[in-house]
Chain A
Amino acid sequence: MTKRLLFQLLAAFVASVSLAAGAEDVVAVVSAKSPITSLNSEQVADIFLGKTTRFPDGSAAVPIDQNEDSPDRDRFYAQYTGKSPAQVKAHWSKLIFTGRGQPPRQVANAAEAKRVLAQDPHAIAYIDNRLVDSSVRVLSGQ
């Protein structure tokens, strides 16, 4: 009985670990029609943290966030900016309450983000890399 419980616990643990490992990275993407082909993670971070409003070529950059319930969101900010959800929130409160900036527009999920990308060549978003298809371009150069 005890052995079986232990085994079940172990199995659950292994499953959760492999699930975590299976959770693929989140990648920054633009529309396949966008002229932007490559952007390193610092440049992506600067756009999403409101430090710049433009791509390196000078064209306007419109970041698209996923809302706070989305697991992609926390992974994206951890990966690209090294900031925890609370740090990102603190960063924006500094800018918001002096009228210096507003956080990116939010959409509900990755599918919504892709829909915005399809309509706006200036938009930049992040999605789970399992959702990458021909409509988007992954920004390499991390």
Chain B
Amino acid sequence: MHKPKMAFLMAAILAACGAARADDDGPKLKLSGYGTLGVAHSDNRGADYLVDSFKPNGPGATRAWNTDTDSRLGLQASAELSPRVSAVLQVISQQRFDGSYRPTIEWANVRYSPLPDLSLRAGRIVLPVFMVTDSRRVGYANPWVRPPVELYSMIPITTSDGIDASYRMTLSPTTADTLEVTAGRSDAKFPPSQGLGTGTAEVRDILAVSNSLESGFLTVRLNYGQARLTIPEYAVFEEAFRQFGPPGAAIAERYGVHGKFSKFVGAGASYDPGPWFAMAEWAQFDTHTVIGKKAAWYVSAGHRWNKFTPYATFAQLKGLSNTSDPGIPLAGLPPPVAAGAAQLNAVLNGQLGILPTQSTLSLGVRWDLFRSAALKLQYDRVALGSGSRGVFGNIQPGFEPGSTVHLISATFDFVY
């Protein structure tokens, strides 16, 4: 969405909230919020553990103890203007790509329900790609310190500016199916920590379809998404490759990040009868670019004993595309040209090599201190795939790809 449009939407929502406050019997205004205070420690000072590619740093190389990994504060105003129309504005402050905590707008949308089971939204809305995308920022709503990094780092973008429609079908007194279709666009700046250089991911023509079936304690969710991804900062490399005739052009075409469709499929299930819960999720993301193709899955289960919920999770992320490429053939090129080509080949292979493969065993416990606050402690054993640096970034000399890293995290999650 263009900035003036966003500003207009915000003004409209704020005005609606103001109107809601003015009249107690009519529209209702609700203010709520959530937050997490977190600290994470890594035993490997050779690289930063990056929970997603928007994080400029993490526990490890920058600081062994890091408080920016999970900490955040969210504030939300929602207004019910009539039984059919409501608006929501959520502002979130968390560590951004530039290291600042400058607040950003997470949601700003207006919802209209022409029928009781049909809802249409316009504005900035959730990008529905995972089981817990809706609440991935709300630590209190989730059993873990953070959603499994292997899967949730695949798509770090959480919002889409556009429209969505969701329809709920009641199939039996205990079974309901919700179909949601989202269309929109998104822009996200990423830091250089992953080694891809800094840039902006311009995501256009997003189309996401998700279906969620709830039957008793069981929830099954299927997700499909596609979008055109462009990183303008990479255009210079594509241009450079195109200077080398057809072989260079072929490489630019194959790996370029210039509006090709990325495709995402995912499936997940959870079972939560109350005293315990179990969930599993799988997803595959193919960018058709230098960023590559990845698949990830996890299984997680926990048991609730009064205020304590110990849990265990096993997650795996696998790079499915090639991590190297011969590049432009150097044979027969005049020496100065060959040197340039070799440099470009090195850049290409440097980027392809980032494709992560890793698995994590997490053991943790959630302690529901009060009704609105929980304390969590989690241990992660991250095993990097052979030759892979996994999701780690800010790599220092001496860091060994394929090694095993141990992390300890603690969070205090609250809602109000």
- Enumerate chain A interface residues (CB-CB to B < 8 A): 40, 42-43, 46, 51-54, 56, 60, 68, 81-87, 89-91, 93-94, 96-100, 102
Which B residues touch A86, using CB under 8 A?
Answer: 307, 368, 371, 374
**Chain B residues within an 8 Å CB radius of A56:** 173
Name the contact of B274 in the complex, choosing from A53, A83, A85, A96 (C-beta under 8 A).
A83
Contact B138 A97 (CB under 8 A): yes
**Is A89 touching B415 in the complex (CB atoms < 8 A)?**
yes
**12 intermolecular pairs with C-beta atoms under 8 Å apart:** A42-B174, A60-B116, A85-B371, A89-B140, A90-B140, A93-B138, A94-B135, A94-B141, A96-B32, A98-B135, A99-B86, A100-B134
CB distance from A86 to the nearest CB of B (A): 4
Contact partner of B141 among A52, A60, A83, A93, CB < 8 A? A93
Asked whether B176 is an interface residue with its Cβ less than 8 Å from the other chain, the reply is yes
Contact B415 A93, beta carbon cutoff 8 Å:
yes
Q: Which residue of chain B is the closest to A40 with respect to CB atoms?
A: B173
Task: Check if B107 is an interface residue, CB within 8 A of chain A.
Answer: yes
Task: Chain B residues near A53: list those with CB within 8 A.
Answer: 116
Contact A84 B304 (CB under 8 A): yes
Kindly list chain A residues whose C-beta atoms are within 8 Å of the C-beta of B138: 93-94, 97
Further pairs besides A56-B173, A97-B134, A98-B135: 5, Cβ < 8 Å: A68-B371, A93-B34, A97-B138, A98-B126, A98-B134
Chain A residues positioned under 8 Å from B273 (CB to CB): 82
Assess the B173–A102 pair: CB atoms within 8 A: no
For A58, give the chain B residue with the smallest CB separation. Answer: B116
Residues on B with C-beta less than 8 A from A85 are: 371
Say whether A99 contacts B88, CB under 8 Å.
yes
B74: Cβ under 8 A from any A Cβ: yes
The answer to whether B111 and A99 have CB atoms under 8 Å apart is yes
User: Are the C-beta atoms of B173 and A97 separated by less than 8 Å?
Assistant: no
Give the complex CA separation of A98 and B86 in angstroms.
12
Chain A residues, Cβ within 8 Å of B275: 82
The 9 closest A-B pairs by CB, nearest first: A99-B88, A82-B274, A86-B368, A93-B141, A98-B134, A94-B135, A94-B141, A93-B415, A97-B138
A97 touches B368 (CB 8 A): no
Residue of A nearest to B142 (CB): A90
Q: Please provide the chain B residues from 41 to 94 with a CB less than 8 Å away from any CB of chain A in the complex.
A: 74, 76, 78, 80, 86, 88, 90
Please tell me if B254 contacts chain A, counting CB pairs below 8 Å: no
- Asked if residues A99 and B173 are in contact (CB atoms below 8 Å), the reply is no
Is the CB of B150 closer than 8 A to any CB of chain A?
no
Q: In the complex, what residue of chain A is closest to B140 when comparing beta carbons? A: A93
Asked whether A97 lies within 8 Å of B371 as measured between CB atoms, the reply is: no
Nearest residue (CB) in B for A39 is: B173
Q: Which residue of B lies closest to A98 (CB)?
A: B134
Residues of B within 8 A of A51 (CB): 176, 214
Closest to B367 in A: A86
One digit per residue, 1 when the CB lies within 8 angstroms of any chain A CB and 0 when it does not, for chain B 294-310 equals 00000000001001000
Measured in the bound complex, the distance between the Cα atoms of B132 and A91 in whole Å is 12
Residues of chain B contacted by A42 (CB below 8 angstroms) = 173-174, 216
Partner of B135, one of A46, A52, A93: A93
Residue B243 is within 8 A (CB to CB) of chain A in the complex: no
**C-alpha spacing A86/B142, complex, angstroms:** 11
- Min CB gap B173→A, angstroms: 6
With beta carbons under 8 angstroms apart, the residue of A52, A60, A82 that contacts B176 is A52
Q: Is the CB of B141 within 8 A of A97?
A: yes
Q: Let me know if B76 and A96 touch, CB within 8 A.
A: yes
Instruction: Kindly list chain B residues whose C-beta atoms are within 8 Å of the C-beta of A90.
Output: 140-142
Interface core residue of A56, A85, A96, A99 (most chain B CB under 10 Å): A99
Smallest CB separation, A78 vs chain B (Å): 9
Chain A residues with Cβ below 8 Å from B214 are: 51
With both beta carbons as reference points, the residue of chain B lying nearest to A45 in the complex is identified as B174
- Rounded to whole Å, the gap between the CB of A60 and the closest CB of chain B is 8
Q: B135: which A residues are within 8 A, CB to CB?
A: 93-94, 97-98
Residues of chain B with a CB closer than 8 A to A96's CB: 30, 32, 76, 78, 415
CB distance from B114 to the nearest CB of A (A): 14
